[in-house]
Structure 1
Amino acid sequence: MDPFRIQAAPAEWLVIVTGAAALAVTVIRGLWLPARNAITIAHEGGHGLVALVTGRRLEAIRLHSDTSGLTVTRGRPTGLGVVLTLAAGYPAAPLLGLGGAALIGTHRVTLLLWSATALLLALLVMVRNAYGVLTVLLTGGAFLLVSWLGSPDVRSAFACAVVWFLLIGGVRPAFELQAKRRHGGAPDSDADQLARLTQVPAGVWLLFFHVVAISALIGGGRWLLGL
């Protein structure tokens, strides 16, 4: 199976139905809580990837059953590297969704599924707790199973559902963080740590997270819908 081979575009009805399903999963609390693990995987993976790119030492990633996560890096406590690493978490899921939408929009569903599987395997190497290992294995296993055994229609449906969820679900965490901060919670959030490092208010960083997520949703949605 050639991952660079052009596949047929997903049917318009399939794109719409999977988008509606992703929206439902995002807004219905009982569905959101377990599904949010996928956003956490992307969030912590974003921290880890940027840490490596900026020359920091990535020591561990932990994913917890309450859908929180932790990425431990070593390096200078100040400077551009640590700022970029901290800033990468919240935008990671929306930007991954945007990239996935671009691949679907150019009819490369198989490349999307294989790329996602490779990223999950790379992440697995750095996960240091049992729940995290199980979560990443199950997620990677789903991608691998669909990639190898799914029909073209199944692969397209799965890819569209995943990308829509990264785009739509990627918008919600910044709003959750904003609500927590409004009530005095999350004093060590990414936004608050960034504020202490850069002297830029945490609210500005929150606005940055919102702008990236919403822009990615708009751009990715246009690609998926062929607009």
Structure 2
Amino acid sequence: MDLRTLGHEIAERLLPDAAPATGWWVPAALLVALVVVALPPAWRLARLAVTIVHELGHASVGILLGRRFTGFVVSADMSGHAVTVGPRRGFGRVASTWAGYPAPALVGAVLVQIALHGWAPTALFAALVVLVLSVVFTRTLHTLAAVLGTAAAVGALWWWGSPVLTAVLTLAGGVFLLLGAWRHLGAVIRRGGRGDDPAQLAALTPVPGWGWTLCFAVVLAACTWWAWTALAPHLLDLI
């Protein structure tokens, strides 16, 4: 394959296309996401994606607000942390600390919208670029392996996946991130500690930890509603 042909192949995979017609693939994607979130063995492995998006959410907002992103870690227990350097207090620190829990829900809702409107290949390429760029910020071998493994899976789907398979897995990934965001928030509500984001935000602001948890829940609910506005017409068409 020469460079011109390669460039043509890449361009074809970047352009949006018509999403597959409403059919079995929509409930199939929902079922896949529900099974992965509900089954403990599958969740223990797949929650890695939620953690990566969570940490990159901290980093992205921190960078946008002038903080310097120095790296992130995903631990063997699938927890993680990202480090941004800047003022110890102030709006930038609060916003970057806040951004973690909403990030998977927002990305999930965007993926649902994208999958149902023909933009799945473009979104997969964007995700691949973000993952590849984030490799330089990994700080442990486990984190490096997690990011590279996720990037390889996304890249393989983008390059070799059929339109239906790409739409199914993008939709399933979006619903999974949404549900995973709720599950992560539920874990914090049940057994949150001093190191969790609501507690850190309470230390940085006059707002108590439960107020920040409520704020996260409102944002997650808004993202879920937005995703549902795209899903509902497709599900109603199948009934």
Pair 1:174–1:10, CA change in 2 (3 A): farther
Q: Is the 8 A contact 2:116 2:171 kept in 1?
A: no
Structure 1 runs, 4 residues or longer, greater than 4 Å off: none
Corresponding residue SS for 2:14: coil
Corresponding residue SS for 1:125: helix
What is aligned with 1:191? 198
Question: Larger deviation: 30-39 or 5-14?
Answer: 5-14
Q: Does 1:56 align with 2:64?
A: no
- Deviation string for 1:45-85 (max 9, x for gaps)? 00011111010111111111101101111110010000000
Supply the distance in 2 between the matched residues of 1:35 and 1:64 (Cα, whole angstroms). Answer: 14
Deviation, structure 1 residue 10: 5.2
Structure 2: gaps spanning 5 or more residues: 1-11, 235-239
Superposed, 1:19-168 pairs within 5 Å as 19-168=30-179
Structure 1: gaps spanning 5 or more residues: none
Which of 10, 18, 28 is the matching residue for 1:7? 18
Corresponding residue SS for 1:170: helix
Counterpart AA for 1:218: W
- Deviation string for 1:168-200 (max 9, x for gaps)? 11211011001003xxxx112110010111110
| Structure of greater Rg | 2
Supply the distance in 1 between the matched residues of 2:232 and 2:157 (Cα, whole angstroms). Answer: 22
**TM-score in terms of structure 1 length:** 0.93
Q: Is the 8 A contact 1:5 1:108 kept in 2?
A: yes
Supply the distance in 1 between the matched residues of 2:141 and 2:83 (Cα, whole angstroms). Answer: 16
**TM-score in terms of structure 2 length:** 0.88
Q: Is the 8 A contact 2:25 2:164 kept in 1?
A: no
Q: Is the 8 A contact 1:10 1:156 kept in 2?
A: no
Q: Is the 8 A contact 2:19 2:115 kept in 1?
A: no
Deviation, structure 1 residue 100: 1.4
Number of corresponding residues: 223
What is aligned with 2:212? 205
What is aligned with 2:27? 16
